[in-house]
Amino acid sequence: AQKVTQAQTEISVVEKEDVTLDCVYETRDTTYYLFWYKQPPSGELVFLIRRNSFDEQNEISGRYSWNFQKSTSSFNFTITASQVVDSAVYFCALRPKTSYDKVIFGPGTSLSVIP
């Protein structure tokens, strides 16, 4: 079975705090891709990052960083020094490498950054 779990339904932080969004996945495939998407209050879905299952290097992009740990099947997303513009719903997703339709989305985590 393939599944993506985002246990945190809603998170509230005060501006400038760091926050980590958890993502745990299940798959029997040996090759797969993991993604994070952002959905701000305006409603559009924005692709943030992709990670290949063979590449466990962490990635940093400005205030955003991603920690991929295959041993624990986790792909966590950290926002450093959060800002009000980070308020959004964040989705983690999983896709087997050879499947074009089997993109499994997590239920999302709603992040509110309070000024």
Chain residues in the site for other proteins (CB under 8 A): 33, 35, 37, 43-47, 50, 52, 91, 93, 95, 97-101, 103, 105-108
Judged by DSSP in three states, 1 sits in: coil
If the CB atoms of residues 86 and 95 are measured against other proteins, the closer one turns out to be 95
If the CB atoms of residues 57 and 98 are measured against other proteins, the closer one turns out to be 98
DSSP symbol at 85: G
If the CB atoms of residues 7 and 45 are measured against other proteins, the closer one turns out to be 45
If the CB atoms of residues 33 and 80 are measured against other proteins, the closer one turns out to be 33
Query: Nearest approach, Cβ of 96 to other proteins (angstroms)?
Result: 9
The label of the residue with tokens 């997590």 reads: 106
Query: Nearest approach, Cβ of 105 to other proteins (angstroms)?
Result: 4
**What number of other Cβ atoms are within 10 A of residue 65's Cβ?**
17
Alpha carbons 19 and 13: distance in angstroms, whole number:
7
- Kindly calculate the radius of gyration of the chain based on its CA atoms and give it in whole angstroms: 14
